[in-house]
Amino acid sequence: MLPKTRRDWWEQKLRRTVERDEVNIRKLMELGWEVLTIWECTLEDEVTLNEKLIEFLGPVRLDVSPAPAKTKHGNRAQGLD
């Protein structure tokens, strides 16, 4: 939902943000990363948020040894704006 004042400005800002996010997500995926977008409004439901995180990242590891350099989600990304 957009604010009632300066509606045109907010619509343009939201459109630019969506476009920027799409470009950055595409860049990350080209580098081998998987991307999970978490919206602020989803932070209120901790159970659902935890389920999504576990589904995306995998179960909690009790082993504290370092993870392998290359994981399911790729290596460190470079070249993002």
CA 3 to chain CA centroid, Å, is 24
Residue span of the structural domain in which 49 resides: 34-59
Within-domain flag for 26: no
Number of domains in the chain: 1
3-class DSSP state for residue 67?
coil
Within-domain flag for 29: no
Stated pTM of the model: 0.62
pLDDT of residue 81 exceeding 90: no
Residue 61's pLDDT is: 77
Residue 71's pLDDT is: 52
Dist. CA 29–CA 55, nearest whole Å: 18
Within-domain flag for 44: yes
Residue 45's pLDDT is: 94
Q: What phi, psi does 75 have (nearest 5°)?
A: -95, 180
Within-domain flag for 43: yes
Residue 23's pLDDT is: 98
pLDDT in tens, 23-73: 999 999 999 999 999 989 889 999 999 999 999 998 877 877 776 665 555
